[in-house]
Amino acid sequence: VQNLKKDGYKVVGYARKSLTVEEGGRRANLLESMCSNLLERSLADALFVSSHSKANAPFCERD
């Protein structure tokens, strides 16, 4: 990944949560954790997040 970034590529991360019911701010906390992992482990330069979407939904229909 670091070599690709040196060559000018950008790494884009994607985090998604299914249509489930979590207590209080749990959904936000889980998404924040996923985003942190994408930034730190995958060295993502940008993130896209879908907070309430089905895995089989087309990207254009996700939130």
Inside any domain, residue 62:
no
Inside any domain, residue 63:
no
| Residue 45 · residue 10 · CB < 8 Å | yes
Predicted confidence (pLDDT) per residue in 4-63, tens digit: 999 999 999 999 988 887 777 888 899 999 999 999 999 999 999 998 888 888 888 877
The pLDDT of residue 13 is 96
* Domain containing residue 27: 2-56
Q: Give the total number of structural domains in the chain.
A: 1
| Residue 34 · residue 15 · CB < 8 Å | yes
- Fill in the DSSP letter of residue 24: T
Structure tokens at 51: 């907070």
The pLDDT of residue 43 is 96
Q: How many CB atoms lie within 10 A of CB 16?
A: 17
The pLDDT of residue 62 is 78
Inside any domain, residue 61:
no
Write down the pTM of the prediction.
Answer: 0.78
Return the amino acid letter for 23.
Answer: E
The pLDDT of residue 25 is 84
The pLDDT of residue 19 is 82
